[in-house]
Structure formats: C-alpha cells, structure tokens
Amino acid sequence: MVVADGTRGDSVTGGPRIIFLGPPGAGKGTQAARLAEHLRIPKISTGDMLRDAIAAATPLGKQAGPIMEKGGLVPDDLLNGIVGERLRMADCADGYILDGYPRTLPQAEGFEHMALGDVTPEVYVLNIEVPRAELLRRLSGRRWCPTCQATYHIHNDPAKQAGVCDNDGTKLIQREDDKETAVQRRLQEYDGRTAPLIDYYRSRSLFHAVDGYRPQEQVFAELLDIVTHRPAAARGSEGRA
Ligand code: AP5
C-alpha cells in the first residue's frame, strides 16, 4: 500500500522478497544486480549504501569508513536504521532484494520487526556457496567503479577497455577492503557472525543453497528458476529437490 508521502504502509503487496547470504566474494552483488534488473525490483545493497555515505562524508559515512576499511562490521543499530528507512520507500512495495543484509542475528531480528509483521516465512533466502580459495581469487581480482558501483574482475569479467568502467568511463579501482589484511578480517566476521544465519533461516524462510562456483550465467539461471518457479519450497529444505 503506497501512502501519500511516497512511503508504503504496513502491507507488502507482492513480488518476491529476497535476501542474499554468502561470504565476501561469493557473487551476491553480481547476481543481485542481474536479478533485480530482470525482476524490476530494487536491489538494496548495504555495502553500496555505506560506500555512498563515505563518499558523501555524511555522519554515517564518517562512522562506517574506518570500520569498513579494516574489514569489520558496522554496528547493527545503524544498519537496522538505514534498511528500515529504505524498505519503507514506495519502490519496495512490489518486492526487493537485500544484498549484504541481514548479516548478524540482531539484524535478522531487526528485519522481522521493521517489515511490520513477520514476513520471514515468505522471504527467499539464497545462500551462495563458494570454496574459500576461489573467494580469495575473486576478491583479489575484483575492480570497482566508484561512480556507478559496477563490479568487474580482471580475469573473469573484465571491462571492455582495461581499467575503465563500461558504463561511465570512470577509472576502476580496487576496494580498500579487498586488500589482504581486510579480506582476512571480513572472512573472520563472516564465519563468526554471518554464517550462523544459515541455520537461522534454514528452518524459517524459503531457504535455498546455491552452488556459486559456476559460471555467472548458470548461477543466475538457477536463482531465477528458484524465485519464479519454486515459490512453495518446503521449509527447512536445502532447495535442491
Ligand atoms: P559488502 O559490499 O556487502 O561486501 P561483502 O558482503 O563482503 O561482499 P562483496 O561485495 O565482497 O562480495 P559479493 O558476494 O557481492 O561478490 P561480487 O558479486 O562483488 O560490504 C562491505 C562492508 O560494508 C562490510 O565488510 C562491512 O564493513 C560493511 N557492511 C555492509 N553491510 C553490512 C551489514 N549488514 N552489517 C554490518 N556491516 C555491513 O563478486 C566478487 C568478484 O567475483 C567480482 O570481481 C565478480 O566479477 C566475480 N564473480 C562474481 N560471480 C562470479 C562467478 N560466478 N564466477 C567467477 N567470478 C565471479
């Protein structure tokens, strides 16, 4: 229900609601962008929102910047605040994709409250699985456009002209947190604080584990099949049936 101020009321009218889970470098952002474009629903990436805040030097950006640079997690209350606000925007009424949130148990609990009623049983949780060595290879080769946030990989997904964004010609850079020390910390944070969400969601959402160690096209085809043809996935299944 869209209300006069451009936000929506307390009901979600339809369309898939999707959470991407997975370690850093699994391909969440890559696949979330493709799926969002295909389904015409917004992709809400907390990493992108925080990087925008850092670029704009907002109070949020000033707080998040030093934490992100070292590979730590930004405090839960800040994330619950910005996502709660974003989900109330009118464009989320017909579905949305969350990329990088929830990332801790307090965030998962916060999400259930901000959705104004427990919608978790109807949410697709897509857990992208990739071996650790491949994650390290992907993160070290990732390049990023600071203008439009497009992501490339120097070997797997290179820009048409080396080092320059296809969309806007901006010089591509390596994210500060893709450098080795920060990557190790991000993986530790994932193991300690995000991985427990797999068991949390396995039994209470439309949970699907997806093999992300395949060409992007194949991963995308499976994700699309899940969210368009498997609405009645059995609770607690791995989604592989
Ligand atoms: P965020 O930006 O969310 O980073 P992340 O979760 O660590 O995920 P990544 O962006 O590194 O990886 P991805 O899975 O999206 O992979 P991608 O598609 O780019 O968060 C950054 C930081 O922000 C956090 O560390 C934290 O500080 C803070 N933050 C954000 N959200 C927060 C929250 N909720 N709570 C607290 N703090 C938060 O792909 C990676 C590379 O692999 C690319 O180069 C790509 O081209 C390539 N690739 C993709 N798919 C394939 C494939 N199938 N085969 C080969 N290569 C592939």
CA distance 132 to 159: 25
Whose Cα sits closest to atom 2 in ligand 1?
47
Residue type, 77: D
**What pTM was computed for the model?**
0.90
pLDDT tens-place string over residues 184-200: 999 999 999 999 999 99
Lowest mean pLDDT among 20-24, 53-57, 111-115: 111-115
Q: Which residues contact 166 (CB under 8 A, 6 or more apart)?
A: 150, 159, 160
Q: Is the beta carbon of 208 within 6 A of some atom in ligand 1?
A: no
Residue 231 has pLDDT above 90, yes or no: no
Q: Is the beta carbon of 134 within 6 A of some atom in ligand 1?
A: no
pLDDT tens-place string over residues 94-128: 899 999 999 999 999 999 988 655 678 889 999 99
Label residue 93 by pLDDT band (50, 70, 90): confident
If one counts every other C-beta atom within 10 angstroms of the C-beta of residue 81, the result is 14
Q: Which residues contact 72 (CB under 8 A, 6 or more apart)?
A: 185, 189
Residue 137 has pLDDT above 60, yes or no: yes
Question: How far away, in angstroms, is 4 Cα from ligand 1 center?
Answer: 35
Positions annotated as catalytic residues are 28, 103, 142, 175, 186
Residue 217 has pLDDT above 60, yes or no: yes
Residue type, 25: G
